[in-house]
Amino acid sequence: MSRIASLTALLALGTGCMTLDFMVFSAPTADSYDPDPEQIDPNLLDFVTFEASDGQVLHGAWYRPEGADAGRPPIIYFHGNSSNLNDLWPRIAYYGTWGYDVFAFDYRGFGMSEGPATFVGVFETDGLAAVEYVASETNRDPSEIPWMALSMGSGVAAHTNDEIDAQAVILQAMFPSTNLLADDGTGNDLPTGWFFNDEYDNLEATSNMTSPVFVMHGMLDDYINGPEYGPMVYDAAPEPKELWQPDDVAHADLFEVRPDEFRTRSLEWYGQFGSVPQ
């Protein structure tokens, strides 16, 4: 069942305000991180902790694949909802084939990171903490570091980029706002806050981004409304920007369906604003 269809089903249960924040923060916790050797080489992973500005301890992982150029900045990966690092090994390994080190992290309430997940904590605090940590660890200006983000993580990246620069940002499968999700799912123009405690206005955040933005959203995405949401996010983004809507890609399978084209387009985008691996 798509996210939009599930919202319609929830509305049918009754009327009145209810919180659907769990749909944004389906945060699976973990007692440990256990990389599958068939998906990624555990010997190339380094697990770390770092603190957000409010003292919450967050967990992350460095993936340093053989052949990556240590002289280049790493990619910071902002993952989506309903996952933690234990679900990301194939995706992290894929980004590692691009010739970069990769830093992925869990937001508060996800994986082993302290919780609970909150809008301000995840969207306004944790992404900033991750970027500041990577910049400090690599002794690089944040404007030299490329970002890759997916779904909810794209919202985190958008809300972070008005606070700190990036070399360039790729936003995959981002929803414009939770209010629009609710409106689309119910067929009604519902009041702000009817279903969600916070507005999660990713369009406004996107309009305030300070770095180049490449919006990618598959036309087969029925988890959210990919055909319409992609152009909305693109229109909100400042220049320079680009939009790609592959017609055979759903919500989160771009790296599986179009791995070569995904890599080529991403490296060409990053390459416009800084050096990339060859």
Average pLDDT for runs of 10 along the chain of length 278: 45 41 72 98 98 98 89 94 96 96 97 93 96 97 98 97 97 85 48 52 96 98 92 97 98 98 97 87
What pLDDT is stored for residue 180 in this prediction? 63
Residue labelled with tokens 């399978």: 253
**Cα dihedral: 47, 138, 105, 205 (round 10):** 170
**End-to-end Cα, the chain, rounded Å:** 41
List Cβ neighbours of 27 (8 Å cut-off, separation of 6 or more).
81, 84, 107, 109, 110, 115, 116, 117
pLDDT of res. 73: 94
pLDDT of 6 reads: 46
pLDDT of amino acid 19: 44
For 187, counting Cβ atoms within 10 Å of its Cβ (0-12 exposed, 13-18 middle, 19+ buried), the class is exposed
Alpha carbons within 13 A on the beta-carbon side of 121: 19
Helix (H) or strand (E) holding 125: none
Beta carbons of 140 and 73 less than 8 angstroms apart: yes
Q: Measured between alpha carbons, how far is 58 from 7 in angstroms, rounded to an integer?
A: 31
Residue 103 and residue 50 in contact, taking contact as beta carbons nearer than 8 Å: no
Other beta carbons within 10 angstroms of residue 142's beta carbon come to 22
The set of residues, in sequence order, having a beta carbon less than 8 Å from that of 115 and lying 6+ positions away, is 27, 29, 108, 109
Residue 65 has a CB neighbour count (10 Å cut-off) of 18
Distance CA 156, CA 86 (A): 20
Cβ neighbours of residue 268 under 8 Å, at least 6 residues apart?
none
- Which of 225, 223, 212 lies closest to 176 in space, CA to CA? 225
| Pair 35, 45: CB distance under 8 Å | yes
What pLDDT does residue 65 have?
A: 95
CA distance 178 to 167: 28
Domains of the chain (ranges; CATH) run: 3-29+43-271 (3.40.50.1820)
pTM attached to this predicted model: 0.88
What pLDDT is stored for residue 108 in this prediction? 96
Residue from 24, 19, 21, 22 nearest 151 by CA: 24
In this prediction, residue 31 carries a pLDDT of: 97
